[in-house]
């Protein structure tokens, strides 16, 4: 992921690097390309799981379906990154660990909130964006 073509752009303004994926994670990025937040649901026992993986740890089924999420959740925990400067992001940059409505956890950047206003338990909503060559998502306070 060398970024020689973007050397003249400040680190925080560079487009995101191309996602690093494999056959277990491809569906997630394909969903973002289509403007959808997808999560794995087991065909055997119906359990929703994240992070992605080929096998259901409950029933050991290898069959699963990507389902589209409502894009709602609450703040389970959070941080605000200040230092050092991040490639592709401004500082401070808030990040939340969300409890999603479908019953799984998801890490996402939080946009449009002042750091001092973030609290555990606050409702969240997902938004989509395109940054350079990459389709991605973020959270906002609902």
Partner 1 sequence: MGYTVRDKAAIVGLGTTEFSKDSGRSEMQLAVESVLAALADAGIEPGEVDGLCTYMMDNSSEIDVFRNIGGRNLKVFSRISYGGGGACAPVQQAMMAVATGVAEVVVCYRAMNERSGMRFGQPMVRSSPESEMMLKALHSLQGLQTAAAMMALPMRRYMHETGASAEDFANYSIVARRHAATNPNAFFYGKPITLDDYMNSRMIADPFRLLDCCQESDGAVAVVVTNAERARGLRQKPVYIRAAAQGAPVGTLLCTSYYKPDIVPREECQLVADQLYTMADLTPGDIDVAIIYDHFGPTVLPSLEGYGFCEPGEAKDFIKGGNIELGGSLPVNTHGGQLGEAYIHGMNGIAEGIRQLRGTAVNQVRGAEHVLVTAGTGVPTSGLILGL
CB of 66 closer than 8 Å to CB of 37: no
Binding partner 1 (rule: CB under 8 A), the pick from 7, 8, 20, 117 is: 20
Q: Could you tell me which stretch among 28-36, 42-50, 70-78, 112-120 binds Zn ion (CB under 5 A)?
A: 42-50
In whole angstroms, what is the distance from residue 96 CA to residue 77 CA? Answer: 6
Q: Is 115 in the site for partner 1 (CB under 8 A)?
A: yes
Structure tokens at 112: 């449009």
Q: What angle do CA 72, 75, 80 make, to 5 degrees?
A: 125
- 21-60 footprint of partner 1 as x/- string (CB under 8 A): xx-xx--x---------------------xxx----x---
Q: How many CA atoms lie within 13 A of 110 on its CB side?
A: 30
- Give the interface segment with Zn ion, choosing from 52-60, 95-103, 111-119, 126-134 (CB under 5 A): 52-60
DSSP 90-137: -SSEEEEEEEETTS-EEEEEE-S--GGG--TT-EEEEEEEEETTEEEE
Rounded-to-integer distance, Cα 74 and Cα 105, Å: 10
Q: Which residue lies nearer to Zn ion by CB, 57 or 121?
A: 57
Q: Which among partner 1, Zn ion, none contacts residue 42 (Cβ within 5 to 8 A by kind)?
A: Zn ion
Per partner kind, with CB cut-offs from 5 to 8 A, the member of Zn ion, partner 1, none near residue 16 is partner 1
Q: Which is nearer to partner 1, 44 or 132 (CB)?
A: 132
Query: Taking contact as CB under 5 A, which single stretch among the options 14-22, 28-36, 57-65, 131-139 is the one that binds Zn ion?
Result: 57-65
What residue ranges bind Zn ion (CB under 5 A)? 42, 44-45, 47, 56, 58-59, 61
């Amino acid at each position: 992921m060398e970024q020689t073509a973007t050397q003249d752009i400040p680190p925080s303004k560079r487009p995101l690097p191309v996602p690093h994926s494999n056959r277990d994670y491809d569906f997630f990025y394909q969903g973002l390309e289509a403007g959808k937040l997808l999560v794995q649901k087991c065909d055997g026992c119906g359990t929703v799981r994240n992070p992605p993986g080929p096998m259901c740890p409950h029933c050991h089924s290898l069959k699963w379906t990507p389902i589209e999420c409502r894009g709602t959740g609450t703040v389970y925990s959070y941080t605000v990154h200040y230092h050092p400067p991040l490639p592709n992001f401004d500082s401070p940059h808030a990040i939340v660990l969300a409890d999603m409505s479908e019953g799984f956890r998801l890490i996402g950047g939080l946009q449009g909130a002042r750091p001092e206003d973030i609290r555990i338990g606050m409702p969240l909503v997902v938004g989509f964006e395109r940054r350079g060559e990459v389709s991605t998502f973020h959270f906002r306070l609902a």
